[in-house]
Amino acid sequence: MLLFPAEDAHAVVRQRLLGICAAAGVNFASLPVDVITAPSLRLDLPADRRRLERTVSERRPACSCSIP
């Protein structure tokens, strides 16, 4: 999974994911989760789009999420 937490603090996102995994009976540490830590990601900016495309190409996530 490739995750961009947007405005949420990373600690809040981690706690949320840990809670979801616990409820589902899944060990979070066993999941391939990459987090985009850039302060912003604007798809209307060509440079941001290129960086995202490069990251997706390198990481090849099964899914991606943006938490607004």
DSSP 24-49: HT--GGGS--EE---S---TTSHHHH
**Cα separation, 40 vs 28, whole angstroms:** 25
Q: Give the tens place of pLDDT for each residue, 5-58.
A: 877 788 888 898 899 899 999 999 998 888 888 888 899 999 999 999 999 999
State yes or no: pLDDT of 1 exceeds 90.
no
Confidence of residue 66 (pLDDT cuts 50, 70, 90): low
Return the pLDDT at 63. Answer: 75
pTM beyond cutoff 0.85: no
**Cα separation, 54 vs 19, whole angstroms:** 30
Domain boundaries, the chain: 2-66
Return the pLDDT at 55. Answer: 92
